Amino acid sequence: MPKPLRVLLVEDSPDDAELVELELISGGFAPDIVRVETVAEMRRCLDRGGWDVVLSDYHLPAFGAEEALDMVLASGQDLPFIILSGMVRAEEAVKLMKRGAADFLDKAALARLVPAIEREIRDAVDRAQRREAQEQVRIMSMAVEQSPVAVMITDTKGIITYVNPCFCANTGYERHEVLGRTPNIVKGGDTPVEEYRQLWQTISSGNVWRGMFHNQRKDGSFYWDEASVSPVRDLSGKVSHFVGITLDMTERQLRDQELHKAVRHLTEANTELERFAYVASHDLQEPLRTLTSFTQLLDRRFHGDMDSEAKEYMAFIVDAAKRMHELINDLLAYSRVTGEGRGFARVALADVCAQALRNLKCSIDEAGALIMLGDLPDVVGDEVQLMQLFQNLIGNAIKFRRAGATPEIVVSAQHKAGEWLVSVRDNGIGILTTEQDIFEIFRRLHTHAEYPGTGVGLAVCKCIVQHHLGRIWVESKPGDGSTFFFTLPDTP
């Protein structure tokens, strides 16, 4: 099978060109020859590219081998350039070979042509492979040099033969200060001796070691490195070097420590706050009871002696005491949900919702509310808290009803993105959702005179939902009803 060969032939004689073609064919090639005679033709062909070899006559009327060779060199293509000529002096031949011509053949002895082309093509392939390998090495070493992780290479005795700029930046050492030394130069002292022993054992048996190093910079400061050390083998398979790659973890460790500290702080503060809320609300009940009972006593004993103004003041006191009682009770309820809560178990939401409706029976009957229940799933949670959640949301839906309209409340659930999405929709007064965070404790959008309440209910709901690893939010428009959504994980 003849080998294809694309030849750019610089030649003015068609006869000579034919002789070259015959020689190539008999040498086992299927040559595709383009003959050029001028600089312009030569340039066009070089621009097109794709040549395997350039064969060039020495003297042409408009052109010469020297100029053609310069054009090939200037094109940057690694093309074997072989001169074919009958009348060249030795010094001219040497001059052109020095400039880069691959060979010089006598037209009268073309038998050398095929072996010369084969040799040159082989050499060109070798050169291309070498160039590619060099390029690979260049890219690799650039990657290592610019890498944001520190790289250190040692020989098998642990003598440092290379460190990258990141290593120098991390440690504060210049490259020349560490080459020829051992990694002990950055040893911090807090890495257990056993760790180093294991490291050597692992890498000398040809395996990769991963772990943490406590290191020391040139300025004496300490840091933690997450490290991976691997053996590198030579062509015979023998371990010749070790490569250590390290990532400075100090910042992350500090961040983790800070985070842990902050979480501990917050937990302590939260526990303290819960304890305070509980104790305060519990202890406040006692003086309040005294206040209420003595006011009642006062009213009973002196009711007849009181004029209308005194009776009005008395009513204010009773009212304030009642309101304070509500506040304290709600605060107590809140502090209970923010606390530990009871154990989680499988809970049928349909059952807890039905219980909430039983608790709300009076208000439902009084408002003539219509409640529609969709299918509710079983979840894992705290039964009492989930009942409280439904009771608060449905209770609000009844309380914030529109005057003159029958309250219609729809409770439903759907499975969405691996969790349950439960909604409580009403046709009540609605809210401007952008106004304020109504899930914040004591946040109310209405006065107590308009709608009774303490502003604790939704804060309790939020705590319950968060305790169950869910989210709660509201979608609403003033005058157009509200829908409260909450999610609960679908735990098997």
Q: Which of 331, 458, 463, 465 binds ligand ADP (CB under 6 A)?
A: 458
Query: Should residue 482 be labelled a site residue for ligand ADP when binding is judged by CB under 6 A?
Result: yes
User: Site for ligand ADP (CB under 6 A): how many residues?
Assistant: 22
Select from 21-29, 183-191, 346-354, 447-455 the region that touches ligand ADP (CB under 6 A): 447-455
Cβ proximity to ligand ADP: between 93 and 438 the closer is 438
Cβ proximity to ligand ADP: between 103 and 426 the closer is 426
Quote the Cα angle for 456-458-460, to 5°.
Answer: 70
Q: Which of 445, 466, 485, 490 binds ligand ADP (CB under 6 A)?
A: 445
Cβ proximity to ligand ADP: between 154 and 396 the closer is 396
Nearest residue relative to ligand ADP (C-beta): 453
The footprint of ligand ADP on residues 391-430 (CB under 6 A) is 392, 396-397, 400, 426, 428-430
Q: Which of 101, 347, 356, 438 binds ligand ADP (CB under 6 A)?
A: 438
Cβ proximity to ligand ADP: between 353 and 459 the closer is 459
Query: Should residue 367 be labelled a site residue for ligand ADP when binding is judged by CB under 6 A?
Result: no
Distance in Å, CB of 270 to ligand ADP, minimum: 20
Distance in Å, CB of 221 to ligand ADP, minimum: 52
Secondary structure in 3-state letters for the chain: CCEEEEEEEECCCHHHHHHHHHHHHHCCEEEEEEEECCHHHHHHHHHHCCCCEEEEECEECCEEHHHHHHHHHHHCCCCCEEEEECCCCHHHHHHHHHHCCCEEEEHHHHHHHHHHHHHHHHHHHHHHHHHHHHHHHHHHHHHHHHCCCEEEEEECCCCEEEECHHHHHHHCCCHHHHCCCCHHHHECCCCCHHHHHHHHHHHHCCCCEEEEEEEECCCCCEEEEEEEEEEEECCCCCEEEEEEEEEECHHHHHHHHHHHHHHHHHHHHHHHHHHHHHHHHHHHHHHHHHHHHHHHHHHHHHHHHCCHHHHHHHHHHHHHHHHHHHHHHHHHHHHHHHCCCCCCEEEEHHHHHHHHHHHCHHHHHHHCCEEEECCCCEEEECHHHHHHHHHHHHHHHHHCCCCCCCCEEEEEEEEECCEEEEEEECCCCCCCCCCCCCCCCCCCCCCCCCCCCCCCHHHHHHHHHHHCCCCEEEEECCCCCEEEEEEEECCC
Distance in Å, CB of 439 to ligand ADP, minimum: 7
Distance in Å, CB of 395 to ligand ADP, minimum: 8
Residue with tokens 């312009």: 40
- Binding flags for ligand ADP, 39-68, as an x/- string (CB under 6 A): ------------------------------
Q: Which of 27, 244, 453, 470 binds ligand ADP (CB under 6 A)?
A: 453
Select from 260-268, 332-340, 374-382, 450-458 the region that touches ligand ADP (CB under 6 A): 450-458
Query: Should residue 9 be labelled a site residue for ligand ADP when binding is judged by CB under 6 A?
Result: no
Distance in Å, CB of 401 to ligand ADP, minimum: 8
Q: Which of 116, 163, 431, 488 binds ligand ADP (CB under 6 A)?
A: 431
Select from 277-285, 302-310, 360-368, 443-451 the region that touches ligand ADP (CB under 6 A): 443-451
Distance in Å, CB of 461 to ligand ADP, minimum: 7
Cβ proximity to ligand ADP: between 215 and 476 the closer is 476
Q: Which of 188, 211, 377, 455 binds ligand ADP (CB under 6 A)?
A: 455
Crossing angle of the two packed helices 383-399 and 349-359, in degrees rounded to 10 = 50
Q: Which of 80, 381, 407, 457 binds ligand ADP (CB under 6 A)?
A: 457
Residues that bind ligand ADP (CB under 6 A): 392, 396-397, 400, 426, 428-431, 438, 443-446, 453-459, 482
